Structures are given as structure tokens and as C-alpha cells.
Chain A
């Protein structure tokens, strides 16, 4: 990689601004980075893709099987279920936090910031952001204990306020486990959009709000016609990042439910993990993770496109 870069630069050296010190030698600074990337990311990634076309148990030599793994995936209901659960995770980790984060950020910025001071805003923002700094494994421990069926805090609380009939085995009942995990993920994720949106709101011209207020626009109209369009770039960034995070969710599922009960909360990354390391069907696991990669890369590209377009519109 570096070599081609250098050659191309040397070829065009007459156009360089400083013929005395050719720019191409900067490429040397890139050498450690590119080598490390090849070793840790590119080679493993190509290996993984290669292995996905083979039948391999992790020992011995892989046997070429063409598209057999992918064909098997198409008929694997566990695989489809895991991706269906991914959509639920996108709702819990991208859609809901973005929507709620927008309203909270606007309320904090608009109402609380103006009438109760920035200290109050900082304290409230810190409360919402706190779960974000927690290792996901620790968040999982906290919530699996709160949601425990026997003397879990949530069930105890429901009993204490006279709603015993609402008590559930939150993580053990196949019908509700996925929704419980979703609830936990909303809690984990909410702080991220909130902080980004609040930062974005700071660059909105306050005169826009004042003018709208003078014209008699209520809070919702100002939110809809000023806040939303103004921080559109941030919305795209948050949606892209959170959607990718949702597709990759692993730690929470591992700690909360281990994909159970009966696969009710299985997600692609946990599915590939168990296929790799518990079932040792490495070829099949590689196929799952390759499909996941393709989806994530496509979504990233779409997200980047939308973001660039939003920023261009902003600039014009």
C-alpha cells in the first residue's frame, strides 16, 4: 500500500509545492500503521471471509465447500430469528434513544437551560449519560439482578405498590425476555444521542428561537421547525452509529440471557460466537459474521452518504 502511494507521489513531484522537500517521504510515517492494520484487521478479515467458504472445525485443514454454508444459512431458522431480533435491537438502541434523546435534549436546552441555569442542565445530563460509561458486562449484572424472578427489585417494587399480578420472570419467559433486553438497552444507550444533540443545539442561532417565539410558535412547533432541521447532521450520525452498535450487540446478551430462553434473545453476534467457540463450526460461524459485516458496511456507507448530504445542504 505504502509503496504505491510513494510511487504515485514521486511521479507527480513537479506539481508539489516544495520541490526541495518532496512530500512523498511522509508516507514513511504511515508504514507502522499500515503494517499493523494488515496484521490485525485486514489479514484476519480476509481469513474469516475465506473460511466462510469452507467446512472447518478449527483443527486440521479447512475443506473447500463453496457456498454451502451460505445455502445452509438461508434455511436456518435460528439465523433468521437472530436477525429478526437484531431489528428489535435497532428499535431499542437506535430508534427509541434517538427520538427520546431529541425531546430530552431540546427540553433540557430550551426550558431548563434558559430558566434554571446551566448547572441544573449539567447535573441532569450527567444522570442520563452515566450508563454510557459503564462496562456493558457490569450493566448486565446490575439488570439481571433487578429483573430476577425471585426477590428481584422490579418484582419486589411491583409487589410493594400493589401490582403483584404484573410480576414476571422478565428474562426467563420466552415471550417477554426480548422486550426486557430491549428495555435495558434503551437505558444503556439513551445518554449518547442526548449528549450529541445537546452539543449540536449549541450551534443553533438563538435568534431563530426568539423570532419564532415572538411569532407565537409553541414549543412543539419550534421543536419541529427549528430544532429538528438544524441538527439533522447529528441525527444521521447518531442513527448510523447506534444502528451499527445495535447490530453488534453482544455483551448484554451474553450476560443477561445467553441468547435464551430457547433462543428468544439470540442475536447474530452471539450466534456467531457460539457457533465458533461452542459448536466449533468455524466455517459456518464465519459465514454468519460475514453476512453481518456486509450489512454493517452497507449501512455505514448509507449513513455516511446521508450525513455528507445533510452537511452539504447545511453549508449551502
Chain B
């Protein structure tokens, strides 16, 4: 019994640590609902007197947040789908096709995944201007499709490398060609891994900052991250506005987290240790 009692301090310490992790979220939520007058009078730590929604509304209209959400959804969703398709094609050749020199091809993709974006950003900026794609959402979708597919290829190749050969042989004997085998057998069987990749690519792209910051300069094309980051960088916001911005930035992430929590926590381990 004393053993169980000894364990409570550990639990309490962990709970305090966990609380420290989420305090910033709580305090932002508290202050997003305060009026500027209330904020300047009572400071950031008091409970709000009532629900003051004008701060959120003002900020929403000022940055045209609906448009930013649409942009982020479009870019992240497009990247997730295209990058998964590209990863599947690559991994099919490497993992199932076992093409000659696959180790080198895989190394090529892994290396591409590790290159810092800083070493690509100026040429991408320059080339997209030459190609007339600068400041378009399409340019960002193309670039991140390739960057995310590097990781996807790496992960899916090792998963498909262990794909049961008998299934493929059986389909082949039934007269299916490679294309049919890929979409009717390999993809459906690998659905769990593909789901993890979709979620990861979506959230990673949603959170990206450097390349979208460089590529998307007009208000109509900016993502949530870029719009908030640029505003903050310019220090144009007062305290209540900052909180409205922070809360509106936190909310989508929170929604994804609640919806995808299982995929995220399970997938991140699979992805890293594979």
C-alpha cells in the first residue's frame, strides 16, 4: 500500500508539468474573449467578465480569415493527395518492383528529404518567377508535393518491401497487369499507412512557414500560418488582437489534433523508427 502512496507524488509532478504545457493555450483563450478596456484594466491573468467577441470578429474581418482558411485547406489538401500518389508510384517501383539499384534510388529520395529548404528557396523563388508561377497557390502545392513525397517514398517503400508476394503472384496469374495490381491490390491493402501519410502531409504542410512566406506575398493567396506570422512580425497588433489571432491560429490545429490524435501518435512512431 505504501508503494501506491509513493506513486502519487510522481503523478502530481507529471500533472503539474502537463499543466505547464497547456497553460499558454488556456491563457490565450481567456484573453481572446476580453475587451481591450478590460485587458488594460485587469491584465492578462484575470478571468474575463463576459464573452467579448468583437476582438475575434474584427481580426477575422481584418485579415479575411475565411480566405486564409480556404487557402490553407486547398494547399494542404492538394499536397496531401498529390504527395501520397507520387509516394505510391515511387514506392511501388522500389518496394514491390525491386528495381535494380533501388538502394541508390531510395538514398536519392532520403537525401532530397534532408536538404534544408534554405538551400532551395532562392532558386525556387527565381524559377517560379520565370515560369509565371510566383505568388500562386499552385507553386506551393507543387513544391511541397515533392518535398513530402520524399518522406512518403521512404516510408512506403519499406512497408511495401514486406508486402506478401503471394497476393501479387495470384493476381498476376489471374491476368492483372502492373497498373491494376497497384490500384486494386497494393493500395487497398496498404490503406492504413496511406492514411497516416495523408494526415501527416496535411498537417506538415499546414504548419510550413519559410517557403509559403517567400512564395505567397499577396493577401489572397496567403496561408493561415503566413498571414499570422507576417502580422506578428510587423508588430501591428495590440494585445487583444494578438490573442484573437493566436486563438484563431490554435483552433484548426486543435481540431486536427482531436480528430487525428490516434493516427498522429501512432503514426509518428511508425514513421520515425521505420
Q: Which residues of A line the B interface, CB within 8 A?
A: 1, 4-5, 8-9, 12, 21, 23-30, 32-33, 36-37, 39-45, 47-49, 51, 58, 104, 107-108, 111-112, 115-116, 120, 123-131, 133-138, 140-146, 148, 151-153, 156-157, 160, 187, 190-192, 195-196, 198-200, 233-234, 237-238, 241, 244, 247-248, 250-251, 254-255, 258, 268-269, 272-273, 276-277, 282, 285-286, 288-290, 292-293, 296-297, 300
**Proximity bits, B258-274, A CB within 8 Å = 1, else 0:** 00010011101100110
Q: Name the CB-closest residue of A to B3.
A: A115
Q: Which 9 A-B pairs have the closest CB atoms?
A: A26-B97, A199-B269, A137-B229, A138-B249, A44-B123, A251-B209, A127-B18, A47-B123, A40-B146
Q: Min CB distance, A77 to chain B, in Å?
A: 20
Interface centre among B27, B40, B118, B207 (most CB of A within 10 A): B118
The verdict on B132 contacting chain A, using a C-beta distance below 8 Å, is no
Question: Which residues of the other chain, B, contact A238 by a CB distance below 8 angstroms?
Answer: 272
Identify 22 residue pairs between A and B in the complex whose beta-carbon atoms are under 8 Å apart, listed by A's number. A8-B101, A23-B99, A26-B93, A29-B90, A29-B92, A30-B94, A32-B89, A33-B153, A40-B142, A48-B123, A51-B123, A112-B11, A124-B15, A127-B21, A128-B21, A130-B254, A133-B254, A141-B242, A156-B45, A190-B21, A191-B21, A300-B114
The verdict on B232 contacting chain A, using a C-beta distance below 8 Å, is yes
B233 and A258 form a contact (CB under 8 A): yes
A136 and B126 form a contact (CB under 8 A): no
Task: Please name 8 further chain A to chain B contacts, defined as beta carbons within 8 Å, in addition to the given A42-B112, A237-B272, A255-B232, sorted by A numbering.
Answer: A24-B99, A26-B93, A47-B126, A127-B19, A137-B209, A141-B242, A200-B273, A293-B118
Question: Which residues of the other chain, B, contact A244 by a CB distance below 8 angstroms?
Answer: 114
B99 and A273 form a contact (CB under 8 A): no
A248 and B120 form a contact (CB under 8 A): no
**Proximity bits, B64-108, A CB within 8 Å = 1, else 0:** 000000000000000000000010011011101111110001001
The verdict on B145 contacting chain A, using a C-beta distance below 8 Å, is yes
A269 and B210 form a contact (CB under 8 A): yes
The verdict on B116 contacting chain A, using a C-beta distance below 8 Å, is yes
Count of A-B contacts with CB under 8 A? 297
Given known contacts A26-B97, A33-B153, A116-B11, is B114 in contact with A137 (CB within 8 Å)?
Answer: no
Question: Which residues of the other chain, A, contact B182 by a CB distance below 8 angstroms?
Answer: 29
B146 and A276 form a contact (CB under 8 A): no
Given known contacts A29-B90, A112-B11, A153-B44, is B239 in contact with A145 (CB within 8 Å)?
Answer: yes
B209 and A145 form a contact (CB under 8 A): no
B99 and A292 form a contact (CB under 8 A): no
The answer, among A4, A160, A241, A297, for a CB contact under 8 Å with B45, is: A160
Given known contacts A45-B115, A142-B250, A145-B243, is B99 in contact with A26 (CB within 8 Å)?
Answer: yes
Question: Which residues of the other chain, B, contact A4 by a CB distance below 8 angstroms?
Answer: 101
Query: In the complex, what distance in Å separates the CA atom of A161 from the CA atom of B10?
Result: 25
B14 and A107 form a contact (CB under 8 A): yes
The answer, among B90, B178, B228, for a CB contact under 8 Å with A137, is: B228
Given known contacts A36-B149, A51-B122, A131-B21, is B115 in contact with A30 (CB within 8 Å)?
Answer: no
The verdict on B236 contacting chain A, using a C-beta distance below 8 Å, is no
The verdict on B195 contacting chain A, using a C-beta distance below 8 Å, is no
Query: In the complex, what distance in Å separates the CA atom of A112 from the CA atom of B14?
Result: 9
Q: Min CB distance, B180 to chain A, in Å?
A: 13
Query: In the complex, what distance in Å separates the CA atom of A271 from the CA atom of B253?
Result: 29
B43 and A156 form a contact (CB under 8 A): yes
Interface centre among B119, B261, B264 (most CB of A within 10 A): B119
The verdict on B7 contacting chain A, using a C-beta distance below 8 Å, is yes
The verdict on B155 contacting chain A, using a C-beta distance below 8 Å, is no
Q: Name the CB-closest residue of A to B109.
A: A37
Given known contacts A58-B126, A141-B246, A195-B268, is B115 in contact with A293 (CB within 8 Å)?
Answer: yes
Query: In the complex, what distance in Å separates the CA atom of A300 from the CA atom of B127?
Result: 28
Query: In the complex, what distance in Å separates the CA atom of A296 from the CA atom of B145?
Result: 22
Question: Which residues of the other chain, A, contact B51 by a CB distance below 8 angstroms?
Answer: none
Question: Which residues of the other chain, B, contact A44 by a CB distance below 8 angstroms?
Answer: 119-120, 123-124, 127
B10 and A241 form a contact (CB under 8 A): no
A5 and B100 form a contact (CB under 8 A): yes
Question: Which residues of the other chain, B, contact A200 by a CB distance below 8 angstroms?
Answer: 269, 273
Q: Min CB distance, A249 to chain B, in Å?
A: 10
Q: Min CB distance, A128 to chain B, in Å?
A: 6
Question: Which residues of the other chain, A, contact B233 by a CB distance below 8 angstroms?
Answer: 254-255, 258
Q: Min CB distance, A104 to chain B, in Å?
A: 7
Given known contacts A26-B99, A292-B116, is B22 in contact with A127 (CB within 8 Å)?
Answer: yes
Query: In the complex, what distance in Å separates the CA atom of A128 from the CA atom of B257?
Result: 12
Question: Which residues of the other chain, B, contact A112 by a CB distance below 8 angstroms?
Answer: 10-11, 14
A104 and B14 form a contact (CB under 8 A): yes
**Proximity bits, B1-23, A CB within 8 Å = 1, else 0:** 00010010011001101110110
Q: Min CB distance, B56 to chain A, in Å?
A: 14
